[in-house]
Amino acid sequence: MVWIPGFGKYTPKQGNRVGDDAPDFTLKDHDGNEVKLSGQVGDKPVVLVFYPRAGSPICTKQMCSLRDGWTELMAKAKVFGVSYDGVEQVRKFKEQQKLPFTLLSDPNKKVAKLYGVDGTFAAARVTFVIGTDGKIKAAIDSINANEHAKQVLKAL
């Protein structure tokens, strides 16, 4: 994948690598409700999908791949999309694309920094699989937007 200056690039370091405890956080979802990662971990793995921008062509393909694979995904995991976009932008994106999973707003780049995917303008396109024990089980940093649901299912 080609890296574009200003966009995040996954930088594995202690605290965001496979085998590490997933950094906990609280962000607002598409409806403005607070979502705390530690409150989601437990019964199913959690999938955190960092994507650069709501509504951009590649991000739309990636999120729609997850939507189209939703039946299989929801049986195995809880899925959350994370971007720098504001609550209103992610709400519109979710509605327009009929996305069945939760989108989270990280406008201050706080969570992207914790996971080592932050960039000046946008987060890197990286997906983390967090096990029921709260540990990072996989970091997918070579994403095929059209086949992302299959990539996530394979990692689960």
Which of 146, 136, 120 lies closest to 3, judged by CA? 120
Identified catalytic residue from 27, 49, 59, 77: 59
What H or E segment, with its residue span, contains residue 65? helix 57-68
Question: Alpha-carbon distance 16 to 100, whole Å?
Answer: 27
What is the C-alpha separation between 44 and 152, in angstroms, rounded?
Answer: 14
59 in active site: yes
Catalytic residues: 59
